[in-house]
Structure 1
Amino acid sequence: MLVVGFPAGALQANCYLLAGGEGQPCVIVDPGQDAVEPITEAVRKYRLSPAAVLCTHGHFDHVYSLAPVCAEYEVPAWIHPADRMLLTDPLQGLSADTVAMFGGRFELHEPDEVHALEDGAELDLADLRFTVVHTPGHTEGSVVFRTSTEDGGQVLLSGDTLFAGSIGRTDLPGGSSERMTATLRDRILPLPDETVVLPGHGSSTTIGQERAANPFLRQLEEATVPASGL
């Protein structure tokens, strides 16, 4: 599998392109601010043919370039219905301070073709298969995507649900610490340790590394270990 990733925009959100190899169809994940040019360069360099754009959630730093990228390659976008309104009204997902920074105005546009992501759905795109897992907590419509490499390795595109050493914020509109806790416990911790995590911000990691070192996952693991009887 070919994976091309780069941080983009003021908040350095990671955008990824995934393909079976060079010269093949690809899927673009989370095209944020200032992502158009590096996407164009990657498509040209690796001779890729974009087939779809996947969104882990609707925050502007992950979808800012969604409409122009979809228009350029004439491909559809996929996003969870609970976050779709953020594609045209991004202020709904921002803090008051961020809204003020934009002067109370911030316009984005939906692509011409938008499909709904459903929990548990299997998407066959660009000769790859992605499993959609709904992971509310950072936003109501946050999802992660699971896929496999040709040698059986597991890859998780975790968006802003899980980072190396941390997790996504839960204090923004649509966020919930209680739902994030349930997501981490029920959707993230059960994954195999060798699963490679490609997060929405920061460096890549593995589930095993996060199980051992991420304080949020460690706390949940410790809470599920039964106390020894006396």
Structure 2
Amino acid sequence: MTYTGEVTVGGAPDTREAGDLVITKIAVGPMANNAYLLRCALTGEQVMIDAADEAGRLLELVGDRGLARVITTHRHADHWQALAEVVAATGAETVAGEDDADELPVEVDVRVRTGARVRVGSCELEVIEVVGHTPGSIVLVYDDPDGVTHLFTGDSLFPGGVGRTWSPDDFMRLCGEVETKLFARYDDDTWFYPGHGDDSTLGAERPSVPDWRARGW
């Protein structure tokens, strides 16, 4: 079946192949967070992005392949409710942005900043700090050598706008960082996977960026 990225809490996950990386998206409640399980097709190594909630469902998704590490995109609690339980069950290494790491409920093994690389077997994720939603929010980039670029944006970028901010200064900073670090760098066919809701592409969102700035949210 064709991947759509349209998942619902309690519903089936959705999976796609992106070169050597297999991406599975699942929605967990009660805030309809997206969690992503990445698996290297060559080595079988698995990495999770945002152990958000419903640890039992996430561990079922992991199965008997094991989990090498869990990456948390930012400090907000709806993105780490299942983190401690998933890590305890799997022994996974924990990864988070340097400036959000102290706010998580587990010890963070690897604190990352822009330019860091996180392995998923033979595949690699590049870390980009995108500040504004939180001080230590990160975006994970997978550049498929034979396809498009994939961005895991947490709550920094959604279809229809940037993530929520709590001051005009934070909003302007987040807009600027999304424009310069994502839209200015990557092509229109770049696919992104947000922390809630449906996926989109940079090309679909690019014409609306000036409107986001004008409306102020």
Same fold at TM > 0.5: yes
Q: Between the two proteins, what is the percent identity of the paired residues?
A: 28
Indicate conservation of the 8 Å contact 1:58/1:84, yes or no. Answer: yes
- Is 1:124 equivalent to 2:141 in the alignment? no
Indicate conservation of the 8 Å contact 1:158/1:199, yes or no. Answer: yes
Counterpart among 169, 176, 186 of residue 182 in structure 1? 176
What one-letter code is carried by the residue in structure 2 that aligns with 1:30? D
Deviations 1:47-95 (A, max 9, x none): 53311111111111111111211121111111112112321xxxxxxxx
Aligned to 1:53: 70
After superposition, the Cα gap between the structure-2 partners of 1:166 and 1:220, relative to the gap in structure 1 and judged at 3 Å, is closer
Shift of 1:221: 9.4
Normalising by structure 2, we get a TM-score of 0.81
Aligned to 1:80: 97
Counterpart among 38, 51, 55 of residue 31 in structure 1? 51
Gaps of 5+ in 1: 88-108, 223-230
What one-letter code is carried by the residue in structure 2 that aligns with 1:189? F
Indicate conservation of the 8 Å contact 1:23/1:48, yes or no. Answer: no
The structure carrying a bigger helix percent of its residues is 1
1:110 alignment partner, SS class: coil
After superposition, the Cα gap between the structure-2 partners of 1:9 and 1:22, relative to the gap in structure 1 and judged at 3 Å, is farther
Counting matched residue pairs gives: 192
Shift of 1:153: 2.1
Shift of 1:23: 7.7
- Is 1:110 equivalent to 2:106 in the alignment? yes
The structure carrying a bigger strand percent of its residues is 2
- Compare 18-27 and 132-141 and name the one that shifted more: 18-27
Cα RMSD (Å): 2.2
1:157 alignment partner, SS class: strand
Aligned to 2:36: 16
Indicate conservation of the 8 Å contact 1:23/1:49, yes or no. Answer: no
2:128 alignment partner, SS class: strand
1:123 alignment partner, SS class: strand
